[in-house]
Structure formats: C-alpha cells, structure tokens
Amino acid sequence: MDSVFRTEGLTKVYDTGTLQVRALDVVDLELYRGQLAVLLGPSGSGKSTLLNILGGLDHATDGRVWFRDTELTGMNDKQLTLYRRAHVGFVFQFYNLVASLTACENVQLVTDVARTPMRAEEALERVGLSHRLHHFPAEMSGGEQQRVAIARAIAKRPEVLLCDEPTGALDSQTGVQVLEALREVNEDLGTSTVVITHNLGIRKMAHRVIWFLDGRIDRVEENATRVAPAEISW
Ligand code: ADP
C-alpha cells in the first residue's frame, strides 16, 4: 500500500525554559494513502503535536517525516506554507468561520485562492448542506457549522485532511453528521484522513487506529470491518 505519511524516529521536545517536554518520543509511523486513520490516547500523549508536524504547522526536533516522496523535515517555514496550501486541509474542534459571511462565502474564501478548487456549492453539497448555502454561522447548529468548516477544508481538493477533535464540541447526534461528512470525503474523493478524538466509538469507522501513550505509539489496530457513523454514539 502507498504511504501518504511516514515518520522515522520523529521526536518533538518543547522547551519552555524551565521544563523540557518530550511530546513525541522516537515515533515510527506509516499512514496509508486513501485511508481514514483515528488517533487515540490520553490527553497530552502527543496526538496534536504529531498532526501539527504532519500538517506542516510545526517543526520536528529530531527524526524525519515524509509526505509521499517529499521530505517535510528540513523544509523552512515558507516551503511548509506552500506544502500546506497545496496538499493539506485542516478541521479543528472550533469551526473558525467568519461570522459575517454565509456558508457559501466562507468556503469561497478558500476557493478564490486555490489552484483547482471545486465550486463552493459542490463542497457544501458533499457535506449535506445544499440547503444552507446562504445561511450565516449564527443561524446554523454546531454540527452544521463544522460541516461548513469541512467543506472549506476540502474545497481546494487537498490530498490529506487532518482533523483535531472535529466532534469535540458536539453531541452524539450532530457529531454523527460530521462523521458522515468525513467518511464521504474519504470514500468519494479518496482524501487520506487523520482524525484525533477522545470518543472511543469513532475508532470503529477507521481503517486503522493508532493508540498513543506518553509520546509513543502504544499499538496500532486494523479494523477488519468498519462501522457506519450512524451506528456510533457517545
Ligand atoms: P494530545 O494531543 O495527545 O492531547 P499534545 O500533542 O497536545 O497531546 O501534547 C503533548 C505534550 O506536549 C503535552 O505534555 C503538552 O503539554 C505538551 N505541549 C504541547 N504543545 C506545547 C507547547 N506549545 N509548549 C509546551 N508544551 C507543549
């Protein structure tokens, strides 16, 4: 299977002056192209740090990271910005939508500057929001706002979608709609997807589950059968 990301001895140390925190401690990991991977583990075990380094938002302290055949470690900030812009979509716990813009306009912020974007309407249709194109964030539920954020992230057709607690602020019912949107993107567009979550149930929709503990990979599981988002609750 083709890898989308590969890390070798990946280590991240945060130096706060008085304290050194080993957020990632010699991590060797391969994530496969087209798959949906879920990262699980206690708070502080290094999941967000890994996601940020894979997404080019942060630098490793030691070790190496590749996106396909391109090595990210060693890139300067400008090169990482270009990498992010071309290849990576992000979804965070809080949606970061512009309150004064409609759903469609929020997505257009991205499609206006991307090279081969899909139309904002298509991106919103893919996340089940065709009926909300002209609504403002304040007129939408949390789950709908998160789906606008997903539409915004996928509109530039990124190869990877990195999601940090995408359902963290949502109840089970609205969260499931967000998970359905992520699954559709993964299946229909083939977007390699990484999801950090605290909700154990979400691991059942993944191809692979990576468990973190104290900055290391504790174990990796493959799901022989995957569960539909509608069957997941928390
Ligand atoms: P998780 O996503 O699993 O909750 P994180 O990657 O956020 O874990 O954090 C891993 C460790 O690194 C934690 O001990 C956290 O406190 C520390 N950490 C994360 N970001 C920073 C930072 N910017 N400065 C200092 N320490 C940090």
User: Taking the model in full, what pTM does it have?
Assistant: 0.96
Each residue of 36-93: pLDDT tens digit?
999 999 999 999 999 999 999 999 999 999 999 999 999 999 999 999 999 999 999 9
Domain edges within the chain: 3-231
Separation CA 115–CA 157 (nearest Å): 9
Nearest-atom index, ligand 1, CA of 212: 3
Give, using CA atoms, the residue closest to atom 21 of ligand 1: 14
Each residue of 82-99: pLDDT tens digit?
999 999 999 999 999 999
Give the distance (Å) from ligand 1 centre to CA of residue 179. 25
Question: The domain 3-231 belongs to what CATH superfamily?
Answer: P-loop containing nucleotide triphosphate hydrolases (3.40.50.300)
Ligand 1 site residues, Cβ closer than 6 angstroms:
14, 16, 21, 23, 41, 43-49, 212
Give the distance (Å) from ligand 1 centre to CA of residue 132. 36
Q: State the angle between helix axes of 142-154 and 103-111 in degrees (0 to 180), rounded to the nearest 10.
A: 20
| The pLDDT of residue 233 | 85
Give, using CA atoms, the residue closest to atom 26 of ligand 1: 14
Residue stretches of the chain with pLDDT short of 70: none
| The pLDDT of residue 114 | 85
Nearest-atom index, ligand 1, CA of 15: 25
| The pLDDT of residue 112 | 86
Give the distance (Å) from ligand 1 centre to CA of residue 54. 15
Sequence-distant (6+) residues with CB within 8 A of 96 are 149
| The pLDDT of residue 113 | 83
| The pLDDT of residue 66 | 98
Q: Which of 27, 38, 48 to mutate to test the pocket of ligand 1 (most atoms within 8 A of CB)?
A: 48
Nearest-atom index, ligand 1, CA of 196: 2
**C-alpha dihedral sign at 127, 228, 167, 192:** negative
Give, using CA atoms, the residue closest to atom 13 of ligand 1: 44
Tokens describing residue 116: 């081969």
